[in-house]
């Protein structure tokens, strides 16, 4: 059947329309494909080129050089020294045991370190280097290099390691570094990648830990070409990082060395503070330890000896420990009472040797009593009953407020580890922490620095400094960071009545310079450097009524750990205060016998800047002091074989 011309024309139109539509679709697809190819090949070429490169180029971190630490005079306290080590790549070594045997004939290998290295090889990829010997000598490195053909996979390397030239003198202040642990990493929400470098070391305690990020610096990076399994083929380029910042501390290394030598084997602490700006010139705990042993890897037995020593050489006693301040707290009670207007300096209190309060007898240290005592006499001779009476009049709230204004009961962020708040209790504290009400006996005990009151040696030095000038001086340990020194702050006025402060200072002067003063035997003769101070003795055990009846056992007749703590605080010179000093001798007995002589010697050393002349001491003590100075100089020389303190 023949189609009409009309139908044929319609059919041609439909076919042409479909062809146009199909062609248009094909053209659009081709255009889209072309645009996509252009985007991938041109616009995103760099990105895909980088992805391809990363199949064969890795970025390796370069550990930064750690910042150094100096004392106030530029003497180095923490340095970086060249450290030679020997590494081995298991894959290149082939027969590891055979190579180790050959290496052992050239270099003395520590058995424990070698076993750790072999264990690490089993856990690590075969192409990664593992350290088999650290801190070897240059001669060892030379022998390994000469015999390199016979030691496949073994490479001598050089790096930097931390060293503490002052050893024990600054262990509690500067601290030490050690390998990064899982516990260290857990402290960071997003750890710095450099912390994951094998055997990378960071600060563990002290300034090293508290200023870790400043001292660490910023890591560099190098681009290395690796093969399909990740083995390094060659280095393509590198970007150097930034070294850590250097720190300068406020401490004087010569004074610090003297303090450590003077304390000897005592379990004790000393703080020396500049009263004008808060600089800590000396802050020493005894006994101490050598931080270099921790950097190099201390043995289990050596660490056990430190940990189990009853004198606690690992403790930073100056800031970490808190003690009942004993009679060194009496200035606080006296100042609170005068500030409240409940006592005048010339008012007297009768001391028969005890006081009855709430059905309980509170004793004075002098069993027969002191008789009539006014403010100056009570501080000079440390009469307890006088301050019991003041406590009943002024109350614990006023005493606590005054103590806090003088720096007690608060932590000072000086950059050392585990700084304690101490404890300055009040009624709210006891209700909150002990679930009990405050009783009058608590106030009486607090008045003489016993009961719940706890202070650190650092806080006691701050208290003495603030009493000396009436200003809120704040202690500081870091003097500058990378050469930038913030302006010194003298502190604002505390707001105490100046006449009241003069009364306290006059009484403290009598403690050291009046024949009836408890520290008269430790006075300074040189009138330009005479000191004002206060002795303290804090009990660590209860004395029963039965013991008092038969006679209180003398400290020297008790086991060491049951004896009283000995304390002393002072500032000098009296007429123009420059430094404040606090001394705590654990279980030392009386403050006048154990702590005051140390404080006097340290004060003179700080003021003179060297061994003071014998004329500064009482005539009867000069021969003994001469012998003591000779002995201390021998100790200082023995502890300083490389002459760091004389540099």
Per-residue pLDDT band for 58 (boundaries 50, 70, 90) equals low
Mean pLDDT of 152-176: 88
Fold of 253-292+313-480+488-646: Beta-lactamase (3.40.710)
Task: Return the structure tokens found at 398.
Answer: 């006023």
C-alpha span between 52 and 363 (Å, rounded): 86
Statement: residue 317 has pLDDT above 80: yes
Task: Return the structure tokens found at 347.
Answer: 């008012």
C-alpha span between 251 and 140 (Å, rounded): 38
Mean pLDDT of 265-294: 95
Q: Classify the C-alpha dihedral 389-393-394-396 as positive or negative.
A: positive
User: Helix, strand or coil for residue 217?
Assistant: coil
What local confidence, expressed as pLDDT, does residue 644 receive? 46
Statement: residue 197 has pLDDT above 90: no
The residue that leads in pLDDT, 59 or 574, is 574
What local confidence, expressed as pLDDT, does residue 414 receive? 92
What local confidence, expressed as pLDDT, does residue 2 receive? 59
Q: What is the pairing mode between strands 247-249 and 69-70?
A: parallel
Mean pLDDT of 58-77: 85
What local confidence, expressed as pLDDT, does residue 615 receive? 94
Cα 123 to Cα 117, 127, 156, 177: the distances in Å are: 10, 12, 22, 25
Per-residue pLDDT band for 647 (boundaries 50, 70, 90) equals very low
C-alpha span between 192 and 604 (Å, rounded): 47
CB-based contacts of 317, cutoff 8 Å, min separation 6: 172, 267, 268, 269, 285, 286, 457, 584, 586
Say which residue the tokens 């690796």 belong to: 226
What local confidence, expressed as pLDDT, does residue 229 receive? 46
Statement: residue 453 has pLDDT above 90: yes
Statement: residue 46 has pLDDT above 70: no
The residue that leads in pLDDT, 231 or 157, is 157
Per-residue pLDDT band for 490 (boundaries 50, 70, 90) equals confident
Nearest in space to 330 (alpha carbons), one of 199, 218, 455, 147? 455
Highest mean pLDDT among 166-180, 224-238, 394-408, 410-424 belongs to 394-408
Q: What is the pairing mode between strands 371-373 and 349-351?
A: antiparallel
Query: Which region among 102-106, 281-285, 473-477, 604-608 has the lowest average model confidence (pLDDT)?
Result: 102-106
Highest mean pLDDT among 2-16, 276-290, 480-494 belongs to 276-290
Nearest in space to 538 (alpha carbons), one of 632, 456, 643? 456
C-beta separation of 370 from 351 below 8 A:
yes
C-beta separation of 322 from 299 below 8 A:
no
What local confidence, expressed as pLDDT, does residue 315 receive? 92
Statement: residue 347 has pLDDT above 90: yes
Statement: residue 329 has pLDDT above 80: yes
pLDDT per position as a tens digit, 378-407: 999 999 999 999 999 999 999 999 999 999
User: Helix, strand or coil for residue 348?
Assistant: coil
Highest mean pLDDT among 31-45, 75-89, 132-146, 372-386 belongs to 372-386
What local confidence, expressed as pLDDT, does residue 645 receive? 46
The residues of the chain that CATH labels 3.40.710.10 are 253-292+313-480+488-646
Query: Which region among 4-8, 71-75, 564-568 has the lowest average model confidence (pLDDT)?
Result: 4-8
The residues of the chain that CATH labels 3.90.1310.10 are 59-249
C-alpha span between 91 and 391 (Å, rounded): 78
Burial class (CB in 10 A: 0-12, 13-18, 19+), 471: middle
What local confidence, expressed as pLDDT, does residue 19 receive? 67
Fold of 59-249: Penicillin-binding protein 2a (Domain 2) (3.90.1310)
Statement: residue 185 has pLDDT above 50: yes
What local confidence, expressed as pLDDT, does residue 512 receive? 96
Mean pLDDT over the full length of the chain: 86
C-alpha span between 603 and 339 (Å, rounded): 30
pLDDT per position as a tens digit, 575-605: 999 999 999 999 988 889 999 999 999 999 9
The residue that leads in pLDDT, 318 or 142, is 318
- Computed on alpha carbons and rounded to an integer, the radius of gyration of the chain in Å comes to 36
| Segment holding 579, helix H or strand E | strand 579-585
C-alpha span between 465 and 103 (Å, rounded): 61
Statement: residue 69 has pLDDT above 90: yes
- Percent above pLDDT 90 for the chain: 55
| DSSP bridge pairs for 57 | 225
| Segment holding 87, helix H or strand E | strand 76-89
What local confidence, expressed as pLDDT, does residue 156 receive? 81
CB-based contacts of 535, cutoff 8 Å, min separation 6: 327, 328, 382, 511, 518, 519, 567, 568, 590, 591, 592, 595, 596
Q: Classify the C-alpha dihedral 260-261-266-268 as positive or negative.
A: negative
Mean pLDDT of 412-433: 93
| DSSP bridge pairs for 481 | 247, 484
pLDDT per position as a tens digit, 266-279: 999 999 999 999 99
């Amino acid at each position: 059947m023949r189609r009409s011309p009309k139908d044929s024309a319609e059919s041609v139109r439909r076919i042409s329309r479909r062809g146009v539509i199909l062609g248009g679709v094909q053209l659009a697809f081709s255009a889209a494909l072309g645009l996509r190819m252009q985007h991938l090949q041109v616009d995103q070429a760099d990105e895909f080129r980088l992805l391809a490169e990363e199949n064969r180029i890795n970025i390796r971190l370069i550990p930064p050089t750690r910042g150094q630490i100096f004392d106030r005079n530029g003497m180095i306290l923490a340095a970086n020294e060249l450290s030679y080590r020997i590494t081995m790549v298991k894959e290149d070594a082939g027969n590891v045991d055979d190579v180790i045997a050959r290496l052992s004939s050239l270099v003395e290998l520590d058995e424990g370190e070698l076993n750790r290295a072999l264990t690490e090889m089993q856990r690590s990829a075969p192409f990664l280097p593992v350290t088999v010997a650290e801190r070897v000598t240059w001669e060892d490195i030379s022998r390994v290099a000469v015999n390199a053909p016979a030691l496949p996979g073994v490479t001598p390397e050089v790096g930097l390691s931390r060293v503490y030239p002052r050893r024990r003198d600054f262990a509690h202040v500067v601290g030490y570094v050690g390998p990064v642990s899982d516990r260290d990493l857990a402290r960071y929400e997003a750890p710095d990648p450099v912390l994951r470098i094998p055997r990378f070391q960071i600060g563990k305690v002290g300034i090293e830990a508290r200023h870790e990020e400043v001292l660490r610096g910023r890591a560099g990076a190098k681009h290395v070409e690796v093969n399909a399994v990740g083995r390094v083929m060659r280095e393509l380029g590198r970007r150097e990082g930034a070294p850590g910042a250097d720190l300068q501390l406020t401490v004087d290394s010569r004074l610090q060395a003297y303090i450590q030598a003077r304390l000897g084997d005592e379990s004790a602490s000393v703080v020396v503070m500049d009263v004008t700006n808060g600089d800590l010139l000396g802050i020493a705990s005894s006994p101490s330890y050598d931080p270099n042993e921790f950097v190099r890897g201390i043995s289990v037995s050596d660490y056990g000896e430190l940990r189990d020593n009853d004198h606690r050489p690992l403790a930073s006693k100056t800031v970490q420990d808190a003690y009942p301040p004993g009679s060194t707290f009496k200035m606080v009670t006296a100042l609170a009472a005068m500030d409240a207007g409940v006592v005048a300096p010339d008012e007297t209190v009768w001391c028969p040797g005890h006081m009855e309060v709430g059905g309980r007898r509170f004793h004075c240290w002098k069993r027969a009593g002191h008789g009539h005592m006014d403010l100056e006499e009570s501080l000079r001779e440390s009469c307890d009953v006088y301050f019991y009476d003041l406590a009943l009049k002024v109350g614990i709230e006023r005493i606590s407020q005054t103590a806090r204004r003088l720096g007690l009961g608060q932590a000072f962020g000086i950059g050392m580890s585990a700084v304690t708040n101490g404890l300055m209790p009040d009624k709210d504290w006891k209700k909150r922490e002990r679930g009990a009400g405050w009783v009058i006996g608590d106030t009486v005990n607090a008045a003489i620095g016993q009961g719940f009151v706890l202070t650190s040696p650092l806080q006691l030095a701050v208290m003495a400094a603030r009493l000396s000038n009436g200003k809120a001086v704040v202690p500081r340990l870091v003097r500058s960071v990378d050469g930038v020194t913030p302006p010194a702050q003298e502190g604002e006025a505390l707001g105490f009545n100046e006449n009241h402060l003069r009364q306290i200072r006059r009484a403290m002067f009598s403690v050291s310079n009046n024949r009836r003063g408890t520290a008269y035997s430790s006075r300074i003769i040189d009138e330009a450097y005479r000191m004002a101070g206060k002795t303290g003795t804090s009990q660590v055990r209860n004395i029963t009524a039965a013991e008092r009846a038969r006679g209180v056992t003398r400290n020297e007749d008790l086991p060491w750990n049951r004896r009283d703590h000995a304390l002393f605080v002072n500032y000098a010179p009296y007429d123009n205060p420059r430094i404040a000093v606090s001394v705590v001798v654990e279980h030392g007995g009386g403050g006048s016998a154990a702590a005051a002589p140390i404080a006097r010697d340290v004060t003179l050393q700080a003021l003179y800047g060297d061994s003071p002349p014998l004329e500064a001491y009482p005539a009867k003590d000069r021969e003994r002091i001469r012998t003591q100075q000779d002995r201390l100089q021998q100790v200082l020389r023995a502890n300083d074989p490389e002459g760091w303190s004389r540099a």
